[in-house]
Structure 1
Amino acid sequence: MARILVVEDDDTIGTAVARSLTLHGHEVAWAQDGGSAIRETARAPFDLVLLDLGLPDLDGLAVCREIRPALPDAVIVILTARDDEMDVVLGLESGGDDYLVKPVRLAELHARVRAHLRRAEAGRHDPPVDLGDLTVDFASRRVTVAGTEVHLRPREYDLLARLASQPGTAVSREVLIAEVWDENWFGSTKTLDVHVAGIRRQLSAAGGASMPTLVTLRGHGYRLDPPS
């Protein structure tokens, strides 16, 4: 199945989550503080990280920023007792792909893990899409601009790939949330906006003489327009 790192200082929660994930066939490592999490990610790759923000030694947001470069293709799901929208945005901007508010129900946790791992395999047989200097290669999950790779986070890639699969077509926020995150997902819609902003920053920094435009459709969603 998948290699999963659980970063949680609470013995009861950590034991329950790690045991449940193991019973579902995953290979699980458990770190009880930020320093241990950073060392774990330096030693071995992981497919998914469950990261509690309330750690005893380091701020969880700082840990997220530290481990993201070491795990560019991993999904980082933030576990937080902070249901404030600004805390969610800060977590996503620090490198997180998704979040769950504690206390986390194991059924919801497993559903979210399955959705993220399944999405990583989706679209592998579709041909690449070329939109001017931008190429989205579904088989390799690579994005390039004029031949130079652009390193997107996993959910940023999934979001761009979904829009690139139907260039020029309006896609609602509800459809994007359901297809890129989870059809049963609920929470702050800022999750989508933060990832769109990240895509725009990365593509803008990559340059390119002929680039598509990621258009915001107020009250509806987004559209990726081919270059004119």
Structure 2
Amino acid sequence: MRPHDLPDIGVHLDPATRLLHGPAGATTLTTKQSALLSALLDAHADTVPRQNLLEAVWDVTWVGAHRALDVHIAALRARLAATGGPHGPRIETVRGLGYRLVPPGP
């Protein structure tokens, strides 16, 4: 596993330790949070479909609504806010498609 360190995102994720560093602090992510953030980082701000995230993180093909993904995304959003600060990166919901990581901004 390689560390994710994208200057335009403003945070650093070490997948081996699941440690997320940002300008406002550091925190350890859960295994699923780390896998979700890695998938979003790998997409380089492109939208990642819900099904792709489910398959990447849970390694299953899910038919129908899967609210576990939403719960993990909500927790990851809180962790990003805590480490990235008020103008740090955020996860945006793309209605009907999935999620994407938005770089820091005002």
TM-score (norm 2): 0.80
Quick check: 1:205 aligned with 2:92? Answer: no
**Equivalent position amino acid for 1:160 in 2:** L
Change (3 A) 1:223 1:140: same
**Equivalent position amino acid for 2:48 in 1:** V
Alpha-carbon deviation of 1:166? 2.0
Change (3 A) 1:186 1:154: farther
Match of 1:174?
51
Aligned length: 103
The answer (yes or no) to whether the contact 2:24–2:83 under 8 Å persists in 1 is: no
**Equivalent position amino acid for 2:5 in 1:** V
Alpha-carbon deviation of 1:191? 0.7
Counterparts of residues 101-120 of structure 1 (less than 5 Å): none
RMSD between superposed Cα atoms in Å: 2.2
Match of 1:75?
none
Change (3 A) 1:127 1:198: closer
Change (3 A) 1:147 1:206: closer
**Equivalent position amino acid for 1:184 in 2:** T
Structure number, greater radius of gyration:
1
In 2, distance between residues paired with 1:157 and 1:127?
Answer: 11
Match of 1:140?
17
In 2, distance between residues paired with 1:193 and 1:183?
Answer: 16
Counterparts of residues 1-228 of structure 1 (less than 5 Å): 124=1, 126-130=2-6, 131-132=9-10, 134-146=11-23, 148-185=25-62, 188-208=65-85, 210-228=87-105
> Which protein has greater RCO, CA pairs closer than 8 Å, 6+ apart?
2
TM-score (norm 1): 0.41
